[in-house]
Copies of this chain bind each other. A is one copy, B any other.
Amino acid sequence: MSTKEIPYKIYLNENEMPEYWYNVRADMKNKPAPLLNPGTHKPMTAEELEGVFCSELVKQELDDTNRRIPIPKEIRDFYKMYRPSPLVRAYCLEKKLDTPAKIYYKFEGNNTSGSHKLNSAIAQAYYAKEQGLKGVTTETGAGQWGTALSMACAYLGLDCKVFMVKCSYEQKPFRREVMRTYGADVTPSPSDKTEVGRKMLAEFPGTTGSLGCAISEAVEAAVTQKGYRYVLGSVLSQVLLHQSIIGMECKTALDKYGIKPDIIIGCAGGGSNLGGLISPFMGEKLRGEQDYRIIAVEPASCPSLTRGVFAYDFCDTGKVCPLAKMYTLGSSFIPSANHAGGLRYHGMSSVLSQLYHDGYMEAMTVEQTAVFKAAEDFARIEGILPAPESSHAIKAAIDEALKCKETGEEKTILFGLTGTGYFDMLAYQSFNDGKMADYIPSDADLKKGFDGIPKFPGNEF
């Protein structure tokens, strides 16, 4: 431990900013399993993937050997507009908890998209632009990813077509307007703009949509229009790669002050934030240079790591995407409508799934009323109104800090604060009014989801 006084917020100088992304797959002995063609069950080739994704991103998706991927100067310049993000020492929270633990959080909410999603949005938009494309398509649920992508596209002058899950489109008009302000074309999904959408509307009239369906529509819109490709905000290995900027900045800042975290905590939906935060730390752990406890925190209502199965599964409802090997609840699993806390995706990044499977990472679940209580406490003590997603990590960090209080251990806890909750006030209102409930799927609920996972030789679970 250094004796240097630790500031409330550690900001890197521009000359300390990372110049490459950290590809943790290079350090993994057991590589994440390749994406499979859903028809042939053979690994997707670069050629096949390039019909859907930008060429350079396909290269990144398939690269599991190069540890350092240089960040193009144009992306580093964009990062300068809102990065470095602060690494904050939670002095006030520590004091309030009366814990000997030292708590740090890396705060990714200080940009207009309100979350870490922008880190990958600008990278994906940049490569689309470099490839001479006209635009990109994507889906968005709560709207953080759609907002981030709209911002990146506006900056680069690219078309941005967003399929927004219909119930969010209607319930979150302000998110929609942010995207429109950034010039995006926002369509409620399911829509009549795609085959998949029309089919869904005919089959389930009045449906309010799902993330899985919006993905299918966005992919279809990309492959059927000249000059477009599909981009995705989580799950994919390329996304974790771009998000490693979080962990790289974090590690540089901690190293500067001689701080070594004992526990690293992140919320986990598709895995983009957690994967990015832990990348360089996990690299050291995989190489046996350091040991860290790494904890993924999931909502009890959507527990893919803790209660899912490790198998090849569809990434989308329409089953147009490649199959990914991951911890999954089945692509038909949708968390209860009561669930307001985000992190609703049925699967988990293949990279994190493999690391968890191999025992390099722990996972735990928390229930949403406890999450919102932690969020409210955190807001009042540390001043930042956190996104429900981020608050899963807050809850776990507080619990670890309280354990330290009991044992007297001076552990150093680092967690990812992925974003702000300004567009989640309906959920906060439900909590403020005492109307929020918890929800834990029954084994029978889960079985229904598992039944939809494709069966083929080698995919036993």
Please list the residues of chain A having a beta carbon within 8 angstroms of any beta carbon in chain B. 7-9, 11, 13-14, 80-82, 92, 110-112, 114, 151, 154-155, 173-174, 177-178, 180-183, 376, 379-385, 420, 422-423, 425-426, 428-429, 432
Cβ contact within 8 Å between A178 and B385 = yes
Cβ contact within 8 Å between B111 and A383 = yes
Q: Which residues does chain B contribute within 8 Å of A382, judged by CB atoms?
A: 81
Q: How far is the CA of A114 from the CA of B429 in the complex (A)?
A: 19
Instruction: Give the secondary structure class of A's interface.
Output: helix
Contact of A80 among B8, B80, B154, B155 (CB under 8 A): B8
Contact of A112 among B13, B92, B181, B383 (CB under 8 A): B383
Contact of A155 among B155, B178, B381, B420 (CB under 8 A): B381
Shortest Cβ distance from residue A111 to the other chain B in the assembled complex, whole angstroms: 6
| Nearest chain B residue, comparing its CB with the CB of A382 | B81
Shortest Cβ distance from residue A233 to the other chain B in the assembled complex, whole angstroms: 17
4 smallest CB-CB distances across A and B, nearest first, come from A174-B425, A154-B380, A177-B425, A8-B80
Do A177 and B432 contact each other (CB < 8 Å), given the known contacts A379-B182, A380-B183, A383-B155? yes
Q: How far is the CA of A154 from the CA of B376 in the complex (A)?
A: 10
Q: Which residues does chain B contribute within 8 Å of A376, judged by CB atoms?
A: 181
Do A385 and B112 contact each other (CB < 8 Å), given the known contacts A425-B178, A429-B177? yes
Q: How far is the CA of A182 from the CA of B425 in the complex (A)?
A: 12
10 A-B pairs (CB sep. < 8 Å): A8-B14, A8-B81, A82-B383, A110-B110, A112-B379, A174-B426, A177-B428, A177-B429, A178-B422, A181-B385
Q: Which residues does chain B contribute within 8 Å of A177, judged by CB atoms?
A: 425-426, 428-429, 432
Q: How far is the CA of A428 from the CA of B180 in the complex (A)?
A: 9
Task: Apart from A81-B92, A180-B432, A181-B428, list 11 A-B contacts with CB within 8 A.
Answer: A7-B13, A7-B14, A8-B14, A81-B382, A81-B383, A151-B380, A155-B383, A177-B425, A177-B428, A181-B432, A182-B380
Cβ contact within 8 Å between A173 and B425 = yes
Q: How far is the CA of A17 from the CA of B323 in the complex (A)?
A: 53
Q: Which residues does chain B contribute within 8 Å of A178, judged by CB atoms?
A: 385, 422, 425, 428
Q: Which residues does chain B contribute within 8 Å of A155, judged by CB atoms?
A: 92, 380-381, 383
Q: Which residues does chain B contribute within 8 Å of A81, judged by CB atoms?
A: 8, 92, 382-383
Shortest Cβ distance from residue A91 to the other chain B in the assembled complex, whole angstroms: 8
Q: Which residues does chain B contribute within 8 Å of A383, judged by CB atoms?
A: 81-82, 111-112, 151, 155
Shortest Cβ distance from residue A6 to the other chain B in the assembled complex, whole angstroms: 10
Q: How far is the CA of A14 from the CA of B384 in the complex (A)?
A: 20
Shortest Cβ distance from residue A78 to the other chain B in the assembled complex, whole angstroms: 8
Q: Which residues does chain B contribute within 8 Å of A13, judged by CB atoms?
A: 7
Do A181 and B379 contact each other (CB < 8 Å), given the known contacts A8-B14, A423-B422? yes
Q: How far is the CA of A61 from the CA of B450 in the complex (A)?
A: 68
| Nearest chain B residue, comparing its CB with the CB of A422 | B422
Q: Considering residues A13, A183, A380, A423, which has the most beta carbons from chain B within 10 angstroms of its beta carbon?
A: A380
Cβ contact within 8 Å between B173 and A112 = no
Shortest Cβ distance from residue A14 to the other chain B in the assembled complex, whole angstroms: 5
Q: How far is the CA of A429 from the CA of B174 in the complex (A)?
A: 8
Q: Which residues does chain B contribute within 8 Å of A385, judged by CB atoms?
A: 112, 178, 181
Q: Which residues does chain B contribute within 8 Å of A429, judged by CB atoms?
A: 173, 177, 180
Shortest Cβ distance from residue A232 to the other chain B in the assembled complex, whole angstroms: 22
Q: Which residues does chain B contribute within 8 Å of A428, judged by CB atoms?
A: 177-178, 180-181
Q: Considering residues A81, A383, A384, which has the most beta carbons from chain B within 10 angstroms of its beta carbon?
A: A383
Q: Considering residues A7, A174, A428, which has the most beta carbons from chain B within 10 angstroms of its beta carbon?
A: A174
Shortest Cβ distance from residue A75 to the other chain B in the assembled complex, whole angstroms: 13
Q: Which residues does chain B contribute within 8 Å of A80, judged by CB atoms?
A: 7-9
Q: Which residues does chain B contribute within 8 Å of A173, judged by CB atoms?
A: 425, 429
Q: Which residues does chain B contribute within 8 Å of A9, judged by CB atoms?
A: 80
Q: How far is the CA of A32 from the CA of B154 in the complex (A)?
A: 46
Shortest Cβ distance from residue A256 to the other chain B in the assembled complex, whole angstroms: 13
Q: How far is the CA of A383 from the CA of B59 in the complex (A)?
A: 28
Cβ contact within 8 Å between A422 and B181 = no
Q: Which residues does chain B contribute within 8 Å of A181, judged by CB atoms?
A: 376, 379, 385, 428, 432
Q: How far is the CA of A178 from the CA of B155 in the complex (A)?
A: 30
Shortest Cβ distance from residue A421 to the other chain B in the assembled complex, whole angstroms: 9
Q: Which residues does chain B contribute within 8 Å of A180, judged by CB atoms?
A: 428-429, 432
